[in-house]
Structure 1
Amino acid sequence: MPIDVIAAPTNLGLRPPEPGSVPGTAKAPEALRAAGLIESLSDAAGSTGGAGAVVDAGLVPAGRYRADPAPGATLRNEAAIDDFTRRLADAVDLSLGGGRAPLVVGGDCSLVLAPLLALRRRGRFGLVYVDGHGDFRHPGNSDRADTLGGEALAAAVGLHVDSVSDLEGRRPLVRGGDAVQVGCREDEEDIDELEQRLGAVVPAAEILAHGPDAAARRILEIVDVEGLDGYWIHVDIDVLDPAWMPAVDSPDPVGIDPVDLAALLDALAPGAVGADLAIFDPDLDPSGEHARTVVDVVHRGFARLGTRAR
């Protein structure tokens, strides 16, 4: 199955890093392309007997970033996120309809709603949400629920405002029991609610203690089962410890390392219908060193994306 690399240069789901500035995640697709992402993934896919062809499937531009929510809106950039999500969903839908495995390269975590919308149009799918944070803030548990990048998983399972949780009247995009959060820190403020509402939570400490293969087996028991039409993988690169990946907006200690992340993804990717990659910020990587780390994870983790997907 060929892999379609779809660029999604969005920063709409993040707070400004400082007054008067904008988040740099919208620059990530171009920075990763310059670091050799497509060529590296193509080489890996061919050498492993994986997907073979890796196609540059173009770019879906996001709207203009604004730092504060518009009057009457709950989320900053709420209208722009709605528009971008639908257009990106159409691009993912086109890739899936052509028998290919989309790899969406962003961008911030709010972009995950687009592929989930595309999949929800087709049936019932699971979600593997690999992220150093729970992204489970929502109006029911916080009075600060105004930034979708830190709330995307809650939106995906239907707990946020209608504009992001009830897209096309399809709430929820993913049933809570069909989703697994992977890689959050054990001091995650919403971990109790995550464990209550999701199919499973696999914290970073568990991966560090038992290894990526054991984590993958536990995850697949939830998402690779009868009753589901397949599953999607979301990867926020801040699941890595800042010792390896400081070029993210919210680095936290006790993450995993690139070798374990690549091994985990390599175990999960063959059965997935597609994946996305989020939160790398080139503004925090002037030398390009950390872009090369991301490219290496993709090279080793996604070469077999979609090869066994239902």
Structure 2
Amino acid sequence: MKRDINIFEFPLNLGLKKKEHETEPGVRKLPDWLRKFDFHKEINPKNIFRLDAPDYSMEIDQESGVLNAAGIIEYAKKQADSILKNHTKDSFNIMLGGDCSILIGTALALKKLGNYGLFYLDGHTDFIPVSLSETAAVAGLDLAIITGKGHEKLTNIQGFKPYFLEENIYCVGNAETDDEEYVAFVKNLIQLIKNKED
């Protein structure tokens, strides 16, 4: 059965610390950039849902020690609401960021739907406490946050801590580790998917 495809645009950049030469991190432009180069046209989604982000800020939250905690939390709530409102059992949903902090709102939505696993592909694990972060930016802490590690403001939004169980996450692509096992895993995963399609 062919499933409807939905695209969700979440152009959030509050999870990043801007570089000296930047006015703000440019990742918020990704959905528009992809649209410009016909990504949406090629995907041909049934629906496109967008949640515009608040203005960029460099505000350090005194309680949690991270950048823009309040803005990220509010966005995560609205993001989860948007996903849940437009979720159907048979749809295939594509989430476009934005920075990695959009994982929090997506994870919150999935937790409300049930118990899910996560295949996390990134050049960094994003699994550190804020005390070890050089930037205090949530985009580098998001995997830790969704598994309940960090300040309650971020890890326990609406009482749903943890959004993902740590044992249900497979983290791939860390640039600082030997990637042979990851290559083997991805090959096996692709083969598994092909076998299910046959």
CA RMSD of aligned residues (A): 2.5
SS at match of 2:7: strand
1:175 aligns with 2:149: no
> Cα offset for 1:144?
4.3
1:11 aligns with 2:13: yes
> Cα offset for 1:66?
0.9
Find the counterpart in structure 2 of residue 33 from structure 1: 35
Contact 1:13 1:77 (8 Å CA) reproduced:
yes
1:115 aligns with 2:89: no
1:24 aligns with 2:26: yes
TM-score, L = length of structure 2 = 0.87
Q: Aligned pairs, how many?
A: 194
> Cα offset for 1:119?
1.1
Contact 2:16 2:138 (8 Å CA) reproduced:
yes
SS at match of 2:132: coil
TM-score, L = length of structure 1 = 0.57
Identity %: 24
Cα distance in structure 2, aligned partners of 1:127 and 1:78: 23
For residue 76 of structure 2, the aligned residue among 61, 85, 88 is 85
Q: In structure 2, list runs of 5 or more residues that go unmatched.
A: none
Find the counterpart in structure 2 of residue 242 from structure 1: none
Cα distance in structure 2, aligned partners of 1:138 and 1:145: 11
1:55 aligns with 2:46: yes
Structure 1: 4+ residue segments shifted above 3 A: 70-73
SS at match of 1:31: helix
For residue 158 of structure 1, the aligned residue among 134, 137, 148 is 148
Cα distance in structure 1, aligned partners of 2:180 and 2:59: 35
Q: In structure 1, list runs of 5 or more residues that go unmatched.
A: 43-53, 188-202, 217-262, 272-303, 305-310
Q: Which residue identity is paired with 2:174?
A: C
| Greater Cα shift, 88-97 or 143-152 | 143-152
> Cα offset for 1:122?
1.8
> For each residue in 1:156-199, what CA deviation from the matched residue of structure 2 results, as whole angstroms up to 9, or x when unmatched?
10001112111111110000001110111244xxxxxxxxxxxx
SS at match of 1:57: strand
> Cα offset for 1:98?
6.2
